[in-house]
Amino acid sequence: AQKVTQAQTEISVVEKEDVTLDCVYETRDTTYYLFWYKQPPSGELVFLIRRNSFDEQNEISGRYSWNFQKSTSSFNFTITASQVVDSAVYFCALSSQDNYGQNFVFGPGTRLSVLP
Amino acid sequence: AAGVIQSPRHLIKEKRETATLKCYPIPRHDTVYWYQQGPGQDPQFLISFYEKMQSDKGSIPDRFSAQQFSDYHSELNMSSLELGDSALYFCASSLGRTERTGYTFGSGTRLTVV
Using DSSP, state whether A14 is helix, strand or coil.
Answer: strand
User: Are A45 and B43 in contact (CB < 8 Å)?
Assistant: yes
Note which residues in 8-67 of chain A have CB less than 8 A from chain B: 9, 35, 37, 39, 41-45, 47
From CA B84, how far away is CA A95, in angstroms rounded?
20
Residue B112 · residue B86 · CB < 8 Å: yes
Q: What is the pLDDT along chain A (116 residues), one digit of tens a residue?
A: 788 999 999 999 999 999 999 999 999 888 888 989 998 776 667 888 888 888 888 888 899 999 999 999 999 999 999 999 999 989 999 887 665 555 678 888 899 999 99
Which chain A positions have a beta carbon within 8 Å of B110's beta carbon?
A: 100-102
User: Tens digits of per-residue pLDDT, B31-90?
Assistant: 898 999 887 777 888 998 989 999 888 889 999 999 999 999 999 999 999 999 999 899
* Nearest chain B residue to A35, by CA: B42
Taking CB atoms and an 8 Å limit, are B45 and A105 in contact across chains?
no
Q: Please report the DSSP string for B11-63 in residue order.
A: EEE-TT--EEEEEEPPTT--EEEEEEE-TTS--EEEEEEETTEEEEE-S--TT
Sign, Cα dihedral of A42, B73, B5, A6: positive
If we measure between CA atoms, which residue out of B96, B107, B111, B114 comes closest to residue B31?
A: B96
Closest CB to B110: pick one of A9, A101, A108. A101
